[in-house]
Structure 1
Amino acid sequence: MNKKIFVSLALTLLSFAWANGQAPARTANGKPTVVFVHGLWADGSSWSKVIAPLLASGYPVISVQNPTTSLEDDVAATKRAIARAEGDVVLVGHSWGGFVISEAGNDPKVKALVYVAALMPDNGETIPSLSAKAAATKLGTFLKPADGFLTLSKEGVMQAFAGDVSKAEQELIFATQPPASESVFKAEASNVAWKQKPSWYIVATKDGAINPDLERMMAKRGNAKTTEISASHVPMVSKPAEVLKVVKEAADSVK
């Protein structure tokens, strides 16, 4: 076949696939897109220290900006990111983001799930019912309610959320946190994706927001490949190289 005709035919087929909502199965370099989903009192920039080296290694990356107004809203935001992604997707969720990826991860483009100090609920569970499976942490004592939303005090950032990062980073986390709707604490998991998708889990052994024993329980229950990191609730900020290693392992498992 004439080379020019072959190229034209290939472009036509690709355009047809996109027109019908079908993304190519692979990106140009064969790497899946890594989609990051942040938790409560954080935003998409919380993944910056992991995103930069992934981009340098050729991985396409999208970091979701969750509104943290409801489970449905956050799942919808994540699904929009999955739809934008080229080819296969690895979903990475932190904290509440684990709840979100458990729901959004049923999309057929999603091939692996990574939970980073995250909630990994079973069907029918809420944050309170899941948290009750282990001793309470001190995070709840630092939450400030206002107009149906909760914010985290500066003391909470330092003592329960991000105790092992620099003061400047703690100040940044406090300043950029979006308020979280109280409705997320009533949200109930349904049709969780980790029952069908391979999963990885990072336990933060110094976590003051989610009990590390609860993290271990969820990881074991979900048959996730588990790595323990000596870190606070934000290992992607305090120990990004160790988080990066796990994310790459999950991404490289996608064939």
Structure 2
Amino acid sequence: MNSLALLLLSGAILSISNSEAQTKKSDPVKPTIILVHGLWADGSSWSKVIPSLVAQGYKVISVQNPTTSLENDIAATQRAIALAGGDVILVGHSWGGFVITEAGDNPQVKALVYVAAYAPDNGETISSLSDKAAPTQLTSFLQAEGGFISLTKEGVTKAFANDLSAQEQELVFSVQQPTSPEVFKGVASKVAWKQKPSWYIVASEDKTINPDLERLMAQRAKAKTTTLKSSHVAMLSKPNQVLEVILEAAKHVTQ
């Protein structure tokens, strides 16, 4: 091969290498999706959403809340944020919404997704929030044991996961984590939805948190709102629709 051919070949290789480098450099880094469960649940409540997120290239962390106090649950989510090591989206279900409202103050957090969740304002508690709408059936199905509160099986089937199959309801009941009464003393002090873009899923058939309260919280947070005909556990009864909302938030962050 003569010198001219070698020169042309070298130039072509260099051009391809530069093109590949620019492509890699321009590919957006996907945020980590951190999922935060609610009361009387655990990290497995996201089991129908996680595989699809992973399949689309997202790193996912499903937090295991101790549900012993607001401070302890915030700390669990903060550890997950630190572990992610980059941009994150916080997704909170039910009580998990209270947690992400506080933990979302972290600069790594780029968006919030509420799934039939509490989105408190400064100074609010679960009790003061609940007073803004008619009570639901849930309180009729709580039982205390050893200083913790759990949900009866009837509560799971009638007020918590009422649109799931009997087999799925058994699983929800079996994996629930008892809740300390200290949780209900938590007072919101950092309100991330005032600074971060937010999405909210209203569960129109919710018998745990009044759907009217969900709509109120979504509206005042100026969240992009989706309404699903679902029980309280929308991520289990309508996983594909919940996934769509999470992906929409993720794409917003990576644009």
TM superposition score normalised by structure 2: 0.88
The equivalent residue for 1:195 is: 194
Q: Secondary structure at the match of 2:110?
A: strand
Q: Secondary structure at the match of 1:242?
A: helix
The equivalent residue for 2:243 is: 244
| Counterpart residue type for residue 235 of structure 2 | M
The equivalent residue for 2:216 is: 217
| Counterpart residue type for residue 213 of structure 2 | L
- The answer to whether 1:131 aligns with 2:130 is yes
Q: Secondary structure at the match of 1:164?
A: coil
Q: CA deviation at 1:133?
A: 0.0
Q: Is contact 1:29–1:58 with CA below 8 Å preserved after alignment?
A: no
Determine the C-alpha separation between the residues in 2 that align with 1:163 and 1:88: 35
TM superposition score normalised by structure 1: 0.88
Q: Secondary structure at the match of 2:47?
A: helix
Deviation string, structure 1 residues 84-108 (Cα, Å, up to 9, x no partner): 0042100000000000000000110
The equivalent residue for 2:39 is: 40
The equivalent residue for 2:226 is: 227
Unaligned runs of 5+ in 1: 1-25
The equivalent residue for 2:84 is: 85
| Counterpart residue type for residue 251 of structure 1 | A
Runs of 4+ residues over 3 Å off in structure 1? none
The equivalent residue for 1:66 is: 65
Unaligned runs of 5+ in 2: 1-24
The equivalent residue for 2:15 is: none
Q: Secondary structure at the match of 2:157?
A: helix
Larger radius of gyration: 2
Determine the C-alpha separation between the residues in 1 that align with 2:44 and 2:145: 24
The equivalent residue for 2:96 is: 97
- The answer to whether 1:110 aligns with 2:112 is no
Q: CA deviation at 1:147?
A: 2.5
The count of residues paired between Structure 1 and Structure 2 equals: 229
Q: CA deviation at 1:29?
A: 6.2
Determine the C-alpha separation between the residues in 1 that align with 2:234 and 2:173: 16
The equivalent residue for 1:31 is: 30
Determine the C-alpha separation between the residues in 2 that align with 1:148 and 1:70: 13
Determine the C-alpha separation between the residues in 1 that align with 2:128 and 2:145: 23
Deviation string, structure 1 residues 173-205 (Cα, Å, up to 9, x no partner): 111101001111111000211111010000000
Q: Is contact 1:32–1:86 with CA below 8 Å preserved after alignment?
A: no
Deviation string, structure 1 residues 18-47 (Cα, Å, up to 9, x no partner): xxxxxxxx9x86110000000000100100
Identity of aligned residues (%): 67
C-alpha root-mean-square deviation of aligned residues, in Å?
Answer: 1.1
